[in-house]
Structure formats: structure tokens, C-alpha cells
Structure 1
Amino acid sequence: MDAFRDPPAAREKVLHSFRHRLGNIPTRGSSFFIHLSELCPVACEHCMYSSDLERKSDKVALSRRELEDAIRFISESSSQKLNITGGGEPFLKFSSILRLLETVEVPRIEIVTAGHWAMSPKRTARMMRQIDEARSRNPVNPELLLRLSIDRYHLNAPRPVRIEHYGNVLRCWSESRPGFAVGLRSIQPDMGTVDRMIAKEVGAGVERVDDWNRLLVLPGGMTVPLTFNVFRRSGKALRLTEDHSGATKTIREYYGPFESRPGNLSLATAVNDAIRGEYTASTGVAVTLNSDGTFWIFCGTAPDRRLLLEKQSFAEAVAYFFEDPITHLLVDEGIWALSDLVMEMDPRTHAGALAKNDSASLVDDLLAPDDVRLAVTLIAAHRQVTRDRATVDAEHPLARMLADPAADMARMCRDTVLANRESR
């Protein structure tokens, strides 16, 4: 097809001509992920973000004004849950955490941290008290979970989080009994190791919940959930010499039980909370806001389609994302639908993306080649138009083909991309 002579330009022409039907897009959020900093003092060797204290961009954190814009945007999204996590260590921006806790209008909040700040019982108690006080000032009285990451890499990092630091948090929590919960997160290869270590540190028992979850039973009866996740081979982990392939499931195996139907997993329209043992389908979209102010639909946005948070409304932002047929594909059919398409047209790209075992980078990696991104755009647009969910302007050179139910768009795009690979 002539469109593949200049894939980026051809994709832009499709985006300018594609008209979705407004009634087919979400009007609210499900989970909202906010990354407060790209820096982290722990610098784990397996970090999916390759985070340490070295700046990797000109902008490593949201400004005070941007944080206020983010609070407005999150509250406007009516998301079910705010996740303060990712990118780096959120406790480096502790004042921003407190501001979010006391103002954002969501029913549930989760803070994910390495726990490096819990170096002494006194400091731990002070910071946990500030967290509880900030949460209690929030008019919507959100449910809060403070979740600490614990695994061999945190314990052996350049600036390690020692087992007694985790102990400080659990002891302080059980003694002060604040109005929020505490949980732990680890990796599947460390199952049976770190759970025993922390249990010994605080004198707790360990109970099995299911394949991925354990429960620490503290002296006095209070319980702390410990969730084990797959091991992700992205970021710094790509440089590790250790091979965990035999000790961890793949993301497809991990998420399989949560598919709405076999092969259909849409992380963009679901709330995933393994600590609760729940995976609840939602009519909303999950949004990630990075520390540089860019944001996107999680597992629902092509890598060239991210937005910068300014004064736009949540509805305006969602409408922008759904101007891209790829977003419809990812939200309606899920990441495995994209994965299967790319596997047929570009097996090498597909293999490299799946090898990372990381859902957070999967879409970006699968859609990295320009011609693959154009091919998926055309396939997704064809599906939307022929299902009467969208139209393409008649002036577009491919308008007739995109509206033809008999056109085998997937085959044509696959053959074109494969031919491109063979000619290189």
C-alpha cells in the first residue's frame, strides 16, 4: 500500500480523518496512577524505570501548580482509585503525597514505596502520623493502603532498605493503629524467602491465601497482606545476569484468570488490585500521569499519542485519546488482541516486547516500529468503521477500503509489513 511509504505521515492523515461516535467512549476513570518523581535513592538493580538519583530528563517532578492541576484532573475523572506510585520514589515528594491525601476526591488511595524513609522508629512514627492526619482531613474520607515493596533487590540495593526498616513500619502500624492499612509487595522468585524474613523480624505468622498472596499475622492479631507479582525483565533488569524465567510466570499467565473472556484482557478498563484478590471490570479508563506532566490511558495509548497536562478537562483528554483507532482496539479488545496482530506481522518485535514480561511497557514496545503502528491503526479503524462505531472522511484516499466489510485489512497490512522486513 502507498500509505507505507511514509508511515508516520499516513497515520496522521488517518487520525485527522477518523470520527468516532461520542457515545462509545468512557466518561470516567477507573484507576489513576500518578508518578511524583523519576528519582529514587534506593536504585534497585531490577528497577523497571531504571530509577536512581541521576536525572534522566529536564523535569523530574511536578511543580506545585502542576500538582494542583493534577488534583483537579484526578477528582474530575471520578476514578475509583488513586495510585501514588511508579517512576521513582514518591516519598521524595512527601509534601505532594500529603497534599494529594488531604484533597483528592477518590474513594480509595494506595501509596507504593520502597520504605527507605523508615530508618528509625521515631521517624517512621512521625511520617505515618502525618499520613494519617492528611487522610483524615480529606472530606471524602478515602480508604488508604500504604504498600511497601520488599524483595532481594531492595534488600541488596546500593542504598538498601533493610529488613528492620520494614519492621519499623509494621511495628509502628500495629502499635498506633492508624486509620489506614499496610501491605507488602514482592516478586514471585522471592516467594518463601522474604515472607519468612519479615515474619521473623516482627514475630508474625505466615498464612497462604492463594497462589499470589500471603498474610502476615502480627502479634495481637492484626494482619498484613503480602502479594507476589511476576518478575519483570524491563528497565535495569535487562542487564541482570540472573535468570528468573523458571521461577516466575509470564504476564499472560498471571492475568489469564482475570480475562473477561478467553484472550480478552483490557487493562485500560479494569481495576487491578491483587492485594484485595479482586479484578473488577470497569466502564472507565485507567490513566497514568508521569512526573514530567505527560499522561495517557494505561495500556490504551500509542506511544506517539501522549498528552501534556495543562488546563484541559478530563472529558476533553479522553476524547483526544479516542480520536486514535488504536485506543478503541486496546480498550475494547485488549492488549492480547494487539499482541496477536503484531505477532503475525512482526514476530521479532513481538518476541522482544513479550520477553520483558511487563504490561507497563508492552504497548509501547509492540507499537514502536512506524510501519507496525500504521498497520494497527488501519486495522483498528477498519474494525470501528465496519462496525458502525466510527466514520472516515470521504476525502481520505483509503476511505472506501476502510468502510468495506469485505476488505481483508489485517491480511493486507500483515503482508505489507512482512514484505518490509524481508526487504531490509
Structure 2
Amino acid sequence: MRQEHLAEFFADPTAARNDLLAAFRHRLDRLPTRGSSFFIHLSELCPVACEHCMYSSDLQRKSDKDSLSEAELEEAIRFITESRSQKLNITGGGEPFLKFSSILRLLETVDVPRVEIVTAGHWATTPKRTARLIGRIDEARSRNPRDPDLMLRLSIDRYHLNAPRPVRIEQYGNVVRCWAETRPRLAVGLRSIQPDLGTVDRLIAEELGATVREVDDWNRLLVLPDGQTVPLTFNVFRRSGKASRLTEDHQETSKSIREYYGPFETRPGTLSLATAVNDAIRGAYPPSSGLAVTLNSDGTFWIFCGTAPDRKLVLNRESFAEAVAYFFDDPITHLLVDDGIWALSDLVMDLDPAVHAMALAKNDSASLVDDLLGPDDVRFAVTLLATHHLVTRQRATLDAGHPLAGPLADPRADVAGLCRAVVAGRRGA
């Protein structure tokens, strides 16, 4: 295969990729049959409107569909239950408490062993209101025959405390004190950003009369006066969404995502978040035989850190098995699930260093795959490389009629070099 021949396919990379996917046949005996973590975003809106929000959330609608309808929520519950996920994360996109009835419906019906709700805590305005809402959450969980473990996790950092509609330190205190006094059958945890290590932990400890105990580089424990403990974990600072406009970049006070995820790699240099149970507040991302799934508030869903941006589905009565089969009809999913996001990162760095640099600069695992695969020619090149890898290892085939079937089955073909040259030529390099 010559560079000139391959370049012809890059004239329309999207069409060429679609043709390749139509001819691609994986040879896996069995696809994953269950979920690991299932992330559901109930709303894209948020009243707090933090200046560092990775989703750029506020109370302005950014799409025609900012939340799931009642019927769609019931469909989502069916899909989540069918996935047999190990954990449900009610999180992301916006503030889930804006859809409080949806939270209650999920808690009382989903068949998962563990649930985590991520919230800004803006609703904890008074001790009485805080107790009422936590009580309703606990009651909904208790109605669930599965009796899932439940954690309420509050985001606390300088941006929440100084937002257009700030969450006051007293409101975080309301939640922790209510939990400590009423002893509901749920856990409470806090999550912050690494630049605020040593600051927000001190502030909330003073509010509660607690002490701070160090666990490791990322985790602290608040030890309350009665001896009960509340975990506080510090994540990296993400420079995506609104944070990309901040003048402060925190490069000296926050580690990179590669440094953060290093301890969670299944083997050195291999990180597959598509097969991890997100449990950051307990300091672990344990591997799973299942797949992490994200369901957005507009009904789109995908394998988290395992799906190319043009392969996302819309919730529409498909079974979990049918959805997984669709995702695995893309060789990029095999790459991300088998070898992880660093393998994709390395491929794109070789193909287009500028795209790679812009994607990594965000320091955000949630947007990394979409950013790395944003340019259609890079996405097609990665498809070629992933296909070549699978076919030459007899883990996939291409229909004989496809014009690249022969070259992509040749283990001696320098597909990486050819793709690099073609992409560079398209950039004028």
C-alpha cells in the first residue's frame, strides 16, 4: 500500500470510516454482558454556576433537551437494571437535585448494589430542610428491594464557595451534622480539587469542630467530635468547560490525569476507564469485567472512555446487549477497552501532536476521547490502526470486498507511518 493510495480514502474521512465499519467483523467469542459504573446525568442545568465547571453548567439551556422525560426515565431504569452494573452514579452535566423526583424514583427502583449521588449541596439552606431532603432520600432507598448502599457526595471547593449563587460552608455543615445526628442508612462524603488541599478541608473542619486525618496524597478524613468520620477526596483540576477561560491554571498545584490515574492502571501504561468501577471517594477504581456507561440528560449514551464521538446511541428500547454489540462493531472501542486511553493518546500524539496537546491540556478524562478523536481524519486514521492491530492478530476480519482488506491484513504494512504522512500532508506539514 502506497501513501498516494491511502490518501484517496482520506478525501472523505467520515465516509471512509463508515465503509470500514460496515466491513469490520470482530472475532470475540463473547462481549461484556454487564456494567461496572453507570453514570446518569439528570439535568444539564445548575443554579450554582461555578466558574470552573467542566460542563459549563448554569440555568441557561444549552440544548433543546435538558433532561429526561418521565417515560425516558423509566426506560433508563430498565436499561440500568438490565446492565447489572455494580454501581450507579447520579452525577454530572448539572445539578441532579433539580430533578429530585427522578433521584427518588431511581433510588426506589434500580437493581444495583451501590448508588452514589453527586451534588453541590445548594439545597441544604437550613438544618430543617436538609433533614427533610436527606430523610426522603433515605426513605426512597429503603423502599428498594435491592437495599443498595448509598453515598451522598458533595462537591466543595473555592469555586462552589465563591460561585454566582454560592454554597456556603454552613450548608456543607448542615449536611454533615444532619447525617451525624440522624444516622440515616447512607454515607456522606466530600470531594474537592487538589489546589484546595489544605484549605477547604481546614474550613469544613472548623465549621464542624472536626480534625483532619491524612490518608494518602488524594484523601483525607474529617474526624467529627463524636468519632464518626467523613471522607474528603481531592481530584485533579480540570481545565475544560468554563475552566478553560480562567486565568489561573493551577499547573503547579494540581497533578495531571496521568499522574492521578497511575495507581489505578491494570498494568503499567494501561488504563481502561471503560472497565473500572469509579470509586474515587474511597480511593479506588477497581477493574471489572463489565463496562462503564454514561447516559446524558438528552438521552444519548456511550461507553465511558470507550466510544468514539460519532458512535454514541440514543436510548430507544435497545437492549444492553444490543447496545454493547453496536459499540464493539467499532475497532476503536476494542482499542479503548483492551489497551485504554493512554494507548489512544500515544497514537494521536504520533498522528497529530497539536490535537494531542490541546486534548491533554484540559486535564479531563471525561472529554479526552472526544477531543483526541475530534478531527475526522485523525478518527479515521485511528480506525485504520486499530483495525490493522486486530486483523493481524486474528481477532477481527474485514470483508474481502473492502479495498483495504488485503493491506490491513498484512503484518508488515507500515500503517502507522502511512497514516502519519497522510495526516501531516493534510495539515500542510
For this structure pair, what is the TM-score category when the shorter chain's length is used for normalisation? over 0.9
The 2-side partners of 1:169 and 1:22 are apart by: 48
| 8 Å contact from structure 2 (residues 191, 233) kept in 1 | yes
Structure 1 segments of 4+ aligned residues over 4 angstroms from their partners: none
Partner of 1:389: 395
Partner of 1:17: 23
What SS class does the counterpart of residue 148 from structure 1 fall into?
strand
| 8 Å contact from structure 1 (residues 37, 92) kept in 2 | yes
1:189-200 matches, within 5 Å, as 189-200=195-206
Partner of 2:362: 356
Aligned residue identity for 1:415: A
Normalised by the length of structure 1, the TM-score is 0.99
Partner of 1:256: 262
The CA RMSD over aligned residues, in Å, is 0.8
What SS class does the counterpart of residue 23 from structure 1 fall into?
coil
List per-residue Cα deviations over 1:171-209 (Å, max 9, x = no partner): 000000000000000000000000010011011111000
- Candidates 226, 231, 235, aligned match of 1:220: 226
Query: 1:405 offset after TM fit, Å?
Result: 1.5
- Candidates 374, 385, 390, aligned match of 1:379: 385
What SS class does the counterpart of residue 360 from structure 1 fall into?
helix
The 1-side partners of 2:114 and 2:188 are apart by: 13
1:12-161 matches, within 5 Å, as 12-161=18-167
What SS class does the counterpart of residue 416 from structure 2 fall into?
helix
Aligned residue identity for 2:296: N
The 2-side partners of 1:365 and 1:148 are apart by: 28
The answer to whether residue 296 in structure 2 is matched with residue 290 in structure 1 is: yes
The 1-side partners of 2:420 and 2:115 are apart by: 43
The 2-side partners of 1:96 and 1:134 are apart by: 11
| 8 Å contact from structure 2 (residues 25, 398) kept in 1 | yes
Identity %: 78
Partner of 1:306: 312
List per-residue Cα deviations over 1:281-324 (Å, max 9, x = no partner): 11111000000000000000011110000100000000000100
The 1-side partners of 2:58 and 2:278 are apart by: 27
Q: How many residues align?
A: 423
The 2-side partners of 1:412 and 1:264 are apart by: 25
The 2-side partners of 1:246 and 1:22 are apart by: 44
What SS class does the counterpart of residue 233 from structure 1 fall into?
coil
What SS class does the counterpart of residue 418 from structure 1 fall into?
helix
The answer to whether residue 425 in structure 2 is matched with residue 422 in structure 1 is: no
The 2-side partners of 1:79 and 1:296 are apart by: 14
Partner of 1:400: 406
The 2-side partners of 1:408 and 1:130 are apart by: 61
| 8 Å contact from structure 1 (residues 31, 82) kept in 2 | yes
The 1-side partners of 2:247 and 2:284 are apart by: 34
| 8 Å contact from structure 2 (residues 239, 249) kept in 1 | no
| 8 Å contact from structure 1 (residues 24, 389) kept in 2 | no
Query: 1:25 offset after TM fit, Å?
Result: 2.3
Aligned residue identity for 2:128: K
The 2-side partners of 1:105 and 1:222 are apart by: 29
The 2-side partners of 1:144 and 1:34 are apart by: 15
Q: Larger deviation: 253-262 or 349-358?
A: 253-262
List per-residue Cα deviations over 1:248-280 (Å, max 9, x = no partner): 000001001111111100100111312212221
List per-residue Cα deviations over 1:26-74 (Å, max 9, x = no partner): 1111000000000000000000000000000000000000000000000
The answer to whether residue 260 in structure 2 is matched with residue 245 in structure 1 is: no
Partner of 2:3: none
Aligned residue identity for 2:213: E
Partner of 2:335: 329
What SS class does the counterpart of residue 285 from structure 2 fall into?
strand
The 2-side partners of 1:201 and 1:188 are apart by: 20
Q: Larger deviation: 46-55 or 275-284?
A: 275-284
The 1-side partners of 2:350 and 2:268 are apart by: 19
Aligned residue identity for 1:232: R
What SS class does the counterpart of residue 303 from structure 1 fall into?
coil
The unaligned stretches of length 5 or more in structure 2 are: 1-5
| 8 Å contact from structure 1 (residues 268, 285) kept in 2 | yes
The 1-side partners of 2:402 and 2:359 are apart by: 32
